Structure 1
Amino acid sequence: MVAIEIGAATAAAMSADPIPREARRVLHGLASAWSDVADSRELEVVPLKGAMTNEVFQIKWRTSADDSSAPRKVLVRIYGEGVDLFFDRDDEIRTFEAVSRHGQGPRLLGRFPNGRVEEFIHARTLSASDLRDPDVSALIALKLREFHGLNMPGPKKVLLWDRLRNWLKAAYSLCSSEEAKEFCLDMVEDEITNLENVLSGEDQRVGFCHNDLQYGNIMMDEETRVLTIIDYEYASFNPIAYDLANHFCEMAADYHTETPHILDYSKYPDLQERERFVQNYLSSSGENPDSAEVDNLLQNVEKYVLASHLHWGLWGIISEHVNDIDFDYMEYARQRFQQYWQRKSETFG
């Protein structure tokens, strides 16, 4: 999910009351407990754009008669349609709460039937260009290593391959025979199995992975330069090489253009960038990795790029049929599958 504020004119054109009644009850209860809020029912709703799974809103309350005082803010997330095909919402809530207990993300402030209220992080969301800044990239590598080391509840088993098979079944059940033929879905089961067989034989380091580390899911406090990773809907235990591969793939995207679904793979990081990121990642805990360790992880990352393309290609096909958000999911899926077949021949010959 990516979110930025939209203009007042656009906001006015949207529904007069996009916040569900149940959510307003939660918001009223929160604001009533804050003594500095002037009127708990007098709130401002600011739609945020760029989300590809949920609707997201910033909620503000005036805190005094002085217009210059900082307002109270929270974030309201209204869940998108069809997300139960991608992940279990109860599991995602438990993950959200556990990450928060580790001090790694926003606090959960309240829940309602089709969404939740979260702490508003006072930091800016990164941009696509930030990922190419060597200093910011180094901070991301350090934060990702920290995230991978979180002691999370539940079995610490790799989820990737089961998820791909489940999503393939969902894609088959939703798309037309023409779409299934276009994306060669009858071949994907074997592709998943072949990838699993090849990669499971490698020396794998498994950690708690974000699995969706695009720029919009990383926030930075400009004063302290502290990063916060947000949105854990797809988070699970996986090979850390997969998480790095997915992050590198996201450098091809800019979700805040007129064509947010278009990917530019000329922006995929070159070997020098990838080496720098892996070196920063491995050395972040005080280790001094040798060149063989760096090279081994780099090679695994490049193989897991294929799994990332299958993952988001299937996600795009499913989303096209269950989500009403204004995003060309099918074209996005086409690009990911095209990259899969192209990179497969380059990676394995």
Structure 2
Amino acid sequence: MSNECVLRVDLTLDENNLEEGALKLLSLVRPEWNQEEIKFKVFTAGISNKLIGGYLPKDKSDMVLVRIYGKKTELLIDREAEIRTFVLLHQAGCGSKLYARCNNGLCYEYLPGVVLDPKTVREERIYKLIIKEMIKMHSIKPQDGAVTSPCLFRLMDKYLSIVPDKFEDEEKQQRYIKTVPSHDQLRKEVGDLKSALTCLEMPIVFCHNDNLLANIIFNEQKGKISFIDYEYAAFNYQAYDIGNHFCEFAGVEEVDYNLYPNKEFQMKWLQEFLTAQNEANSVEKKVTERDVESLYVIVNKFALASHMFWGIWALVQSHHSTIDFDFLEYSKLRLDEYLRRKDAFLALTLPQ
């Protein structure tokens, strides 16, 4: 199945009247549904796009999601690559089925369950399922012609090139000047990170790259974890996917970096990850304390890259997005945390 096999609909969704466009898409992907009976649920957790779910009251689990792309997000996201990723992940048993695409959005399968929160993400039974799903995704092989070089610094450089020089809103401009590092400083920090991280030996695998809590769905009935939202999924450093996930323990709407997992928790998590990875790959090798310590050091260095990546990303979003979210404040939070953790994490040394 390729991009060409996904139903294409010549329809432009209106973010101010998403239900109307959703009904048109549902008439194509669920033609047996009585349109007068369809109900809608608006999802508010996302900060990149707007999302709505259509369903019949008799079976809410058979919901169909319709997502309209956020304004100017094509500057940040390769939409054709996202379609390929949707198809690839579904074939691998890792994601939703994509029903249709339109001019500025997607229509796809709803995965029932609850999103994680700062408490549930730490539960052993749940984080073991997260690890299992992450390893499954990391095992996906590249398609013919796929770019398998790590996307991290390529995207950071791209985002830096489109960070706004100035905001038209004067209040926002003053906050920008006072609270966010300059372009030159950001470029220097990215260069320093690249030098510090690219010399580390770390597998390049297919990563989700955005495993925040709202993108992880727990289906208790099935005892299964699913990852959703594949806009940033691509080949990348494995340690980035893990470090980014640890950063997201802090939340998005109410960010608290005191929730970043301590070493004791990380060592348990990483021990489980390495053991499960060996089992998945039929590797009969005992995971040593040195193995876990090495991964701990590398993951925390890549956590810095997560803060920098999303800090720069939020600067671009703050200039273009119409979503009701303070992207400039979020950028400040991520970049402040990067600077706060930088010296300690870069000073970590691999065990001899």
Structure 1 residue 173, shift from structure 2 partner = 4.5
For residue 47 of structure 1, what is the amino acid of its counterpart? V
Contact residue 180 and residue 186 of structure 1 kept, 8 A: no
Structure 1 residue 206, shift from structure 2 partner = 1.1
Contact residue 118 and residue 259 of structure 2 kept, 8 A: no
Alignment of 1:149-228 (within 5 A): 149-153=139-143, 154-173=146-165, 175=167, 179=176, 182-228=180-226
For residue 57 of structure 1, what is the amino acid of its counterpart? I
Structure 1 residue 204, shift from structure 2 partner = 1.4
Q: Name 1:30's counterpart in structure 2.
A: 29
For residue 195 of structure 1, what is the amino acid of its counterpart? L
1:118 is aligned to 2:133 = no
Alpha-carbon distance in 1 for matches of 2:161, 2:91: 35
Alpha-carbon distance in 1 for matches of 2:136, 2:166: 38
Structure 1 residue 303, shift from structure 2 partner = 0.7
Q: RMSD of aligned C-alpha atoms?
A: 2.0
Q: Name 1:44's counterpart in structure 2.
A: 39
Structure 1 residue 70, shift from structure 2 partner = 2.3
Secondary structure of the corresponding residue to residue 151 of structure 1: coil
Structure 1 residue 100, shift from structure 2 partner = 0.9
1:278 is aligned to 2:267 = no
Contact residue 278 and residue 298 of structure 1 kept, 8 A: yes
Contact residue 64 and residue 108 of structure 2 kept, 8 A: yes
Structure 1 residue 190, shift from structure 2 partner = 2.0
Structure 1 residue 125, shift from structure 2 partner = 2.1
Q: Name 2:346's counterpart in structure 1.
A: 348
Alpha-carbon distance in 2 for matches of 1:122, 1:146: 20
Gaps of 5+ in 2: 1-14, 348-352
Q: Name 2:53's counterpart in structure 1.
A: 58
Alpha-carbon distance in 1 for matches of 2:330, 2:187: 20
Q: Name 2:298's counterpart in structure 1.
A: 300
Contact residue 94 and residue 133 of structure 2 kept, 8 A: no
Alpha-carbon distance in 1 for matches of 2:166, 2:119: 35
Contact residue 144 and residue 281 of structure 1 kept, 8 A: no
For residue 18 of structure 2, what is the amino acid of its counterpart? P
Structure 1 residue 234, shift from structure 2 partner = 0.8
Higher deviation after alignment, 333-342 or 122-131 = 122-131
Q: Name 2:69's counterpart in structure 1.
A: 79
Q: Name 1:18's counterpart in structure 2.
A: 18
Q: How many equivalent residue pairs?
A: 318
Sequence identity of aligned pairs in percent?
A: 29
For residue 319 of structure 2, what is the amino acid of its counterpart? H
Secondary structure of the corresponding residue to residue 284 of structure 1: helix
**1:210-264 deviations in whole A, cap 9, x for unaligned?**
11101111112211211111111011111111111100000111x4xxxx1x421
Alpha-carbon distance in 1 for matches of 2:164, 2:293: 38
**1:63-113 deviations in whole A, cap 9, x for unaligned?**
xxxxxx425421111111111121111111111111111111110111211
For residue 27 of structure 2, what is the amino acid of its counterpart? H
Q: Name 1:98's counterpart in structure 2.
A: 88
Alpha-carbon distance in 2 for matches of 1:175, 1:183: 15
Alpha-carbon distance in 2 for matches of 1:175, 1:210: 31
**1:96-134 deviations in whole A, cap 9, x for unaligned?**
111111111110111211111111112222223211212
Shift in CA distance, 309/175, structure 1 to aligned 2, threshold 3 Å: farther
Alpha-carbon distance in 2 for matches of 1:335, 1:145: 30
Gaps of 5+ in 1: 1-14, 63-68
Shift in CA distance, 223/89, structure 1 to aligned 2, threshold 3 Å: same
1:70 is aligned to 2:48 = no
Alpha-carbon distance in 2 for matches of 1:133, 1:159: 31
1:250 is aligned to 2:240 = no
Alpha-carbon distance in 2 for matches of 1:209, 1:242: 8
Contact residue 110 and residue 118 of structure 1 kept, 8 A: yes
Alpha-carbon distance in 2 for matches of 1:86, 1:296: 32
Alpha-carbon distance in 2 for matches of 1:174, 1:91: 30
Contact residue 105 and residue 229 of structure 1 kept, 8 A: yes
Secondary structure of the corresponding residue to residue 112 of structure 2: coil
TM-score, normalization: structure 2?
0.85
Alpha-carbon distance in 2 for matches of 1:117, 1:331: 31
